[in-house]
A and B are shown apart, each in its own frame.
Chain A
Amino acid sequence: MSSAADQQPPLSHALRLALESDCANGVEDVLRERRPEDLAALRSLVSVDPTIKPSHRQSAVYLLGRWPDPDSAALIRDVMRRLDERERINAVDSLGRLGNDEARYGSHGGNARPLSRCAAFRGLCPGAAARPRRAGEVGRDGGVGPGGLCPRLSRPCP
């Protein structure tokens, strides 16, 4: 049986260096260059396959959220539920930056369910109640009063 690592496109030296970098400036080069082969390689790393280093997966998710190609959203959505909480924050942040319908709703046919930062927050914090939205205030889910306002992702679970 082949692993995800066997199937993934080879990583260029520059991309490997960026993925190994723990200084945030190191991943900027990838976004500056935006090579199509790097995009393909990054997408192959968005998997919970144990042969993929978690730090590579995290940086791939981070980079895909900052790479203006909305097709990555489905990949991130698919893997998100199997990430730990700390990685999920990263995934939600990336989906929020992609901000397209796939990031927000996903492919659920006629039964689309919003997956905004707010929804993800509630997923992380079961039972969390949104605070009341003030008149005219726009929530992170794009909604405008008088419904609930998405709490900030980094707020404590109530």
Chain B
Amino acid sequence: MATLSVRTIAASCLGRQPPVSLKRDVFGVYGSNPQARSLRAQLDLAQTKPFIRVALVTVRPTGSTEGAYVNLQRDLDSANQVWQQECGVWIYCVDSIVAVTDAFGANGILDQNGCPLGIQDDPTAEEDALFDLGRGRGADVVCYFIAGSSNPALAGCAAYPEGRRGFWVMFGSSQWMFAHELTHVIGLNPHPNQDPEVPDNDQDNLMWPTPGAITNPPPDLRDVQCGRIHDDDGLESC
């Protein structure tokens, strides 16, 4: 195989034009989660494996001086670990922004209707406002890190208004919550008890309804679940 330059791979596989930042444009790293990252392995990944583009939005109330969610890179790396090991698919983070807004009040609590799998037919005004954020950044899937919704026991939801795919994750959630919600969106994978192809008691599975209680981490995904991810229209290949 001919040796291609980083710039060529960034342009032809990831759509990035010079100047190219290795950290952001090639690795898709936008936060802090110290670990060794191999450029060779990343370029190989970009050239050979399908990927999904994701943008990250940290939502803060007006007046907040806090920046991006502190665990966003940990969550992204955890999701990449599971998707790459189990399904041979990787997650390319194209951007990360902080949205400071009064749309969700001073406490940033989202007014959430139900949480069906996939399209939310009846979004509240606040859901509608949330899923408007972070659009036009090169990803059709956006993850929102927020303070939570009315029920503090619920830490994530993957119901989105039609045409604006995305999901939210509550600050302080389990490191697997991001991957869990993303896997709801990509492939519309349900929880095991709603999935005829996955045993109800598969607590090792990423789609276990309580991601923080998953046993034997890192979590598993079965072939049928990976198949649904691979079939998603949002996946790209170099």
Contacts and interface: CB of A to CB of B under 8 A. Distances in A.
Interface stretch (B3-11, B39-47, B79-87, B106-114): B106-114
A154 B105 contact: yes
Contacts of B213: 20
Given A22-B173, A23-B210, A26-B209, A62 B154 contact: yes
Interface in A139-158: 152-156
A87 B148 CA distance: 12
B209 A17 contact: yes
Interface stretch (A27-35, A73-81, A103-111, A130-138): A27-35
B154 A23 contact: yes
Nearest to A92: B150
Interface in A28-70: 28-29, 31, 54-56, 58-59, 61-62, 66
Contacts of A152: 105
B194 interface: yes
Interface in B147-172: 149-159
Instruction: Tell me the dominant secondary structure on chain B's binding face.
Output: loop
A28 B115 contact: yes
A154 B107 contact: yes
A156 B104 CA distance: 11
Contacts of B158: 23, 25
Contacts of A21: 154, 191, 209-210
Which of A14, A55, A62, A154 neighbours the largest number of chain B CB atoms within 10 Å of its CB?
Answer: A154
Interface in B89-130: 104-109, 111-112, 114-117
A20 B115 CA distance: 16
Interface size class of B (residues with CB under 8 A): 35 or more
Given A17-B193, A66-B114, A22 B106 contact: no
B106 A27 contact: no
A126 B115 CA distance: 33
Given A152-B105, A154-B105, A154-B111, A23 B152 contact: no
Contact of A89 (B109, B115, B156, B159): B109
Contacts of B159: 24-25
Contact of B212 (A22, A24, A90, A154): A22
A interface, over-half SS: helix
B89 to A, nearest CB: 21
B210 A24 contact: no
Contacts of B181: 23
B79 to A, nearest CB: 14
Contacts of B109: 89, 154
Contact of B150 (A22, A55, A90, A156): A90
Interface in B168-196: 173-174, 177, 180-181, 184, 190-191, 193-194
A20 B209 CA distance: 8
A17 B193 CA distance: 9
A93 interface: yes
Contacts of B134: none
Contact of A24 (B104, B107, B154, B190): B154
A35 to B, nearest CB: 15
A28 B114 contact: yes
A145 B154 CA distance: 36
Nearest to B103: A154
A28 B116 contact: yes
B191 A23 contact: yes
- 9 cross-chain pairs, A with B, having the tightest CB-CB distances, nearest first: A154-B105, A156-B106, A24-B115, A26-B209, A21-B209, A24-B157, A62-B151, A93-B150, A55-B153
